[in-house]
Amino acid sequence: MTLILNNDEIQKALDNKECLDVMEDSYREQAHSRAVNRPTCHSYLPHSLPNSTYSFKSVDGGVGKLGVLALRVTSDIVQEQQLHGSTRLEKIPLAKGLFVGLVQLFSAETGELLAIMPDGFIQQVRVGVTSALGMKVMARRNSRTMGLIGSGGQARAHYRFMTSVMPIDKVKVFSPNAEHRKTFVAEMAKETGVEGEPVGSAEEAVTGVDVICSATNSSRPVVQAGWLRPGMHYNSIREFETDMAVLDRCDVISIHTRFGGIQHYQPPGIEDDMPGVRREKPRDWSKYPEICDLIAGKTPGRTNDQQITFFLNNVGTGVQFAAMGYCAYKGAKKKGLGKEIPTEWFLQDIKP
């Protein structure tokens, strides 16, 4: 049978510790030539809405030990909107008011399609889990306090997983909306059992903490290099929320993946005439080691308590979706969650 899951079922199916263990193991496999990643590709078509483009993104990757390969796709209509004088890209939910993003899990043993699930919850978990694993190999072992910037889905996953890998006993949270950060802290403290404190500025959130985490969708730096102090670990989930001056202040730097170069495909001839296509060129991060090599012990992480460490949890990879898709699939099977449809619907006797 092929399993169909929704986000609620995935949330119930996933076990936090197992997510961390399976992802950690997958990075070790990757570091030892037993996992594969195919970089993200975007395909674009003109859309009938003003200033809009249809955007189809795909990435895949697999882990031999888990016996799976995951394909993640998103199918979005992206609109350029003007807000306070700057241009932002907004995804428009035209699919009955909802969004389309899927993780498809294939067996690398038989080829079969094991499961189809939305990517929304997994997307948050895979980023949070990777940040937590980065913290585990880079932050001071006696880290106890964290400053978190953001109160969205990603911030939620980061609160959850970064407080799981070290005995953090307090998280200071800043996000621009006072009501949001208050509600967020109350919910996350209840879920994790780790005390939280909403604070009034980003600087206040990071002052005096051991670990800083920015988990926003900002295109401008949210943490200033001058705020970093000896012994701190800083985790960022987007290169454009990172002040480049941070790099000069840090002693040990690692990135998630060197596969930063997303490949963009547009109808030939109108490459410069499509709204909704990101123009920012990613920076070149290829001189920094990938976190999988730190996790596997192939590259040293922090070597003393005075160092400032920085992990840029940049572009996602197929291996992350394979690892978290595997956890969701196994967990759902164990707990009897989701809907099943015949695998035979996705098989054929015509030889390729």
Using the contact rule CB under 8 A, the part of the chain among 107-115, 206-214, 245-253, 327-335 near a second copy is 107-115
| Stretch of 52-60, 208-216, 223-231, 328-336 contacting a second copy, by CB under 8 A | 52-60
CB of 346 to a second copy, least distance (A): 6
Closest to a second copy by CB, 57 or 229: 57
Amino acid, single-letter form, for residue 328: A
Q: Which is nearer to a second copy, 89 or 165 (CB)?
A: 89
Q: Which member of 9, 60, 239, 241 binds a second copy (CB under 8 A)?
A: 60
List the one residue from 9, 20, 28, 37 that touches a second copy (CB under 8 A): 37
User: Backbone dihedral region of 231: left (phi > 0), alpha (psi from -120 to 50 degrees) or beta?
Assistant: left
Site for a second copy in 197-226 (CB under 8 A): none
175 is an interface residue for a second copy by CB under 8 A: no
- Closest approach of Cβ 31 to a second copy, in Å? 9
Q: Name the maximum alpha-carbon separation found in the chain.
A: 64
Query: Is 341 a binder of a second copy (CB under 8 A)?
Result: yes
Binding to a second copy (CB under 8 A) within 297-336 occurs at 318
Residues 237-276 that bind a second copy (CB under 8 A): 263, 265-270
Residue among 20, 22, 77, 337 that touches a second copy (CB under 8 A): 77
By CB under 8 A, name the one of 9, 27, 103, 121 that touches a second copy: 121
Residues 6+ away with beta carbon under 8 Å from 122:
10, 103, 321, 324, 325, 328
Does 75 bind a second copy (CB under 8 A)? Our answer is yes
Number of residues that bind a second copy (CB under 8 A): 80
Distance between first and last Cα of the chain: 22
CB nearer a second copy, residue 9 or residue 239? 9
**123 near a second copy, judged by CB under 8 A:** yes
* Radius of gyration of the chain from its Cα atoms, rounded to whole angstroms: 20
Report the alpha-carbon distance of residue 23 to residue 1 in Å, rounded: 25
Q: Smallest Cα–Cα separation from 88: which of 79, 101, 96? A: 79
Q: Which is nearer to a second copy, 85 or 352 (CB)?
A: 352
- Please name the residue ranges forming H helices in 139-243: 153-162, 178-192, 202-206
In degrees and rounded to multiples of 5, residue 173 shows phi and psi of -120, 125
**φ, ψ for residue 52, nearest 5 deg:** -125, 155
Q: How many residues does the chain have?
A: 352
CB 247 to a second copy: min, Å: 25
SS3 3: strand
Give the Cα separation of 23 and 30 in Å (integer).
10
User: Residue 126 Cβ, how far from a second copy at the closest point, in Å?
Assistant: 13
- The reply to whether 45 sits near a second copy by the rule CB under 8 A is yes
Residue 350 touching a second copy (CB under 8 A) = yes
Pair of tokens at residue 121: 């919850």
Least Cβ distance, residue 7 to a second copy (angstroms): 6
Tokens 């002052």 found at: 207
C-beta of 158: minimal distance to a second copy in Å? 16
Q: Which three-class secondary structure state does DSSP give residue 95?
A: strand
Q: How far apart are CA 134 and CA 82, in angstroms?
A: 36
Q: Does 9 bind a second copy (CB under 8 A)?
A: no
- Report the residue from 95, 178, 244, 245 that binds a second copy according to the rule CB under 8 A: 95
Q: Is position 193 an interface residue for a second copy (rule: CB under 8 A)?
A: no
Distances (CA, A) of 61 to 34, 35, 70, 116, 317: 11, 7, 6, 15, 7
Is residue 349 close enough to count as binding a second copy by CB under 8 A? yes
* Comparison of 52 and 131: residue with beta carbon closer to a second copy: 52
From residue 134, how far is each of 227, 256, 269, 290 by CA, in Å?
A: 20, 9, 42, 10
